[in-house]
Amino acid sequence: MHQKADHQVPVLVVGGSLVGLSMSLFLGRLGVPHLLVERHSGTSQHPRGRGNNVRTMELFRVAGVEPDIKTAASLLADNHGILQTPTLVGDAGEWLFKEIDPGGGLARFSPTAWCLCSQNDLEPVLVDGARALGGDLRYFHELESFAQDPDGVTAYVRDRDSDDLYTVRADYLVAADGPRSPIRGRLGIGQSGPGELFANVSVTFRSKLLADTVGDRRFICCYLTDSEADGALLPVDNKERWVFHAPWHPENGETLDEFTEDRLRRHIARAVGVPDLDVEITGRASWRAAERVADQYRSGRVFLAGDSAHEMSPTGAFGSNTGIQDAHNLAWKLAAVLGGWAGPGLLDSYEGERRPVAVATSARASARSVEHSHPGFAPAPGVGGGRKGGILNVVLGYRYPEGAVVGAEPAQPVVPEGMNLTAQPGSRAPHLWLRRSGERVSTLDLYERSMVLLCDAGTAAGAAWHTAARRVAETDGVPLAAYRIGSGADADLTYDAGGDWAETHGTSPDGAVVVRPDGYVAWRSAGAVPDAEAELRSVLATVLRTP
């Protein structure tokens, strides 16, 4: 049966939205052949999921698509903050926050920044990037069924255009097939959490006069609070294309058919505060916000990623970002196992690392919705009562207390109280500007295709670590790049504008740090050791689950 499959690939990705496309892009960057199938005929046409957080943009930066995303996002490049107001007429209301990065403090932590790029603009960039790397992306192709055995997965896919059915044999299947994931359902994987939070009808419309009312208020989103016509207004081009989220209450028996164009036009005009506003409805889509996390992220050779694994309130734009970061975590592990330089057990760490992040982040998203009084959200007791405060620690500071790391503290919280990116094992490695052959690079630019060891260019211990890493890479078949940081002839990387790599990474000039391909710290040594080669070999065997 296996030999008769029409296609054989290492990885089959089911779902071609943001998470599936990101998975394709990341696998392509790592040289992993794969096939992606998506039941819809093309990318999203609806402007939604626009907030790409700084961690996601770091991943897209390393994957080479950040410039194209910024070009696609240029129309909203000057939009910041969330406004809450009873009407857009006059000066009433308040900014829940006016700047994403007030004072520019984010530059201390990252070489990039948040980017406002709607899903309908972002997905085509990811498609082009994935296909340029050899990704086989098939839209209007639907997974009908699959069966797995100890050696792989056999999938049955229908070409919805020709109605032809064909088989795909894959080593692994990644389910990025959305919140109602048929794959999760067939696997019998349950979900935990409060469940549905609220529902909206998302309306795209044109209005040439609305820009005059908005004026120079360049918001990401505006919560309009008229008790008879509340909702959320989002600009698409700041000129005449807009999106409005109108609360929908199916729990009260309200049906989608009641949202007629005439009702929506009157609702939007009243919410804005301009009774005769010109409103031309161009599209409608219903959606339900929920807080749920899958009880398992893996069943045999099938993995859940994105909305199939977790659903979150939209406030804070945590959902798609968490899903893209799921894909990045899983992609390097699949590449390592398929490439033979990690044991199959490495894949067990995917759930152990990513599920706790989803649990913590989904709770924070609900709390954010309560803080912002999201239109239509009347939380049940106990829902959205999580810790308040900023979101940068949730976005950049989350960590893996357990997983493919050595020396992490299992008792520490997944999301810390503040920002403390000093290379603790299990945390995202710190950002530091360096020079490589005259080119300015961030330390984060070093991490993608291999394990990386950082050591000092000016100490005997640094030389020992560097030599040991080279030997391990040559003899053990593990992709392990080694960089000596400092000054002098031996330095592979020099400082761009001062700094101290050892201090930044919480170690001494005699120490070393090993970083995973996803930019997370696998291990660090505070100083020299008697046998650097043996130490590295032991660490890598533990992290990569090799014998």
Residues 6+ apart with CB under 8 A from 235: 76, 79, 214, 218, 219, 241, 242, 243
pLDDT in tens, 427-469: 999 999 999 998 999 999 999 999 999 999 999 999 999 999 9
State the Cα–Cα distance between residues 118 and 314, nearest whole angstrom: 13
DSSP E strands in 39-119: the ranges are 51-52, 82-85, 94-97, 115-116
List per-block mean pLDDT (blocks of 10 residues) for the chain, which spans 547 residues.
82 97 98 98 80 95 98 90 90 81 83 92 97 98 98 98 97 97 98 90 95 93 91 93 93 91 96 95 90 97 98 84 98 98 98 97 82 62 56 92 96 89 97 95 98 97 98 96 93 93 97 98 98 98 95
> For residue 371, what pLDDT is reported?
63
DSSP 32-61: --EEEEESSSSS--S----EE-HHHHHHHH
Longest dimension (CA), the chain: 79
Q: In what order do the strands lie in the sheet with 480-485?
A: 480-485, 451-456, 512-515, 521-525
Neighbours of 64 (CB within 10 A): 14
State the Cα–Cα distance between residues 25 and 57, nearest whole angstrom: 14
State the Cα–Cα distance between residues 130 and 118, nearest whole angstrom: 18
> For residue 386, what pLDDT is reported?
56
Residue 478 parent element (H or E): none
* Torsion on CA atoms 392, 397, 400, 405, rounded to nearest 10: 150
Query: Considering only CA atoms, which of 134, 117, 130, 133 is closest in space to residue 56?
Result: 117
At 247, phi and psi to the nearest 5? -60, 140
pTM, to two decimals? 0.93
CATH of 2-75+116-188+293-395, one of 3.50.50.60, 3.40.50.300, 3.40.50.2300, 3.40.50.1110: 3.50.50.60
State the Cα–Cα distance between residues 491 and 457, nearest whole angstrom: 5
Neighbours of 476 (CB within 10 A): 15
- Three-state helix/strand/coil letters over 218-249: CCCEEEECCCCCCEEEEECCCCCEEEEEEEEC
CB 195 within 8 A of CB 292: yes
Q: One-letter amino acid identity for 133?
A: L
Is 433-544 assigned to CATH 3.40.30.120? yes
At 332, phi and psi to the nearest 5? -70, -30
Task: List for the chain the helix, strand, coil content (%; round to 5).
Answer: 35, 25, 40
Helices (H) and strands (E) in the chain, counts: 13, 25
Q: How far is CA 362 from CA 160, 194, 255, 322, in A?
A: 35, 10, 27, 9
State the Cα–Cα distance between residues 317 and 323, nearest whole angstrom: 11
> For residue 333, what pLDDT is reported?
98
HSE of 158, CA atoms in CB hemisphere, 13 A:
8
Residues 6+ apart with CB under 8 A from 351: 296, 297, 298
Task: Name the pairing type of β-strands 94-97 and 494-495.
Answer: unpaired
The two tokens of residue 236 are 């698409």
> For residue 420, what pLDDT is reported?
85
Q: How far is CA 42 from CA 46, 53, 168, 502, in A?
A: 12, 25, 21, 48
DSSP 5-19: -SEEEEEEEE--SHH
Residue 337: exposure state from Cβ atoms within 10 A (0-12, 13-18, ≥19)? buried
The two tokens of residue 83 are 């406004």
pLDDT in tens, 200-241: 999 999 999 999 999 999 998 999 998 889 999 999 999 999
Q: In what order do the strands lie in the sheet with 439-442?
A: 439-442, 433-436, 494-495
State the Cα–Cα distance between residues 113 and 442, nearest whole angstrom: 13
Domain residue spans in the chain? Answer: 2-75+116-188+293-395, 433-544
Task: With H, G, I as helix, E, B as strand and everything else as coil, classify residue 107.
Answer: helix
Residues 6+ apart with CB under 8 A from 519: 58, 62, 428, 429, 444, 447
* Torsion on CA atoms 189, 195, 201, 202, rounded to nearest 10: -70
> For residue 502, what pLDDT is reported?
97
Residues 6+ apart with CB under 8 A from 294: 184, 189, 190, 191, 304, 308, 309, 310, 355
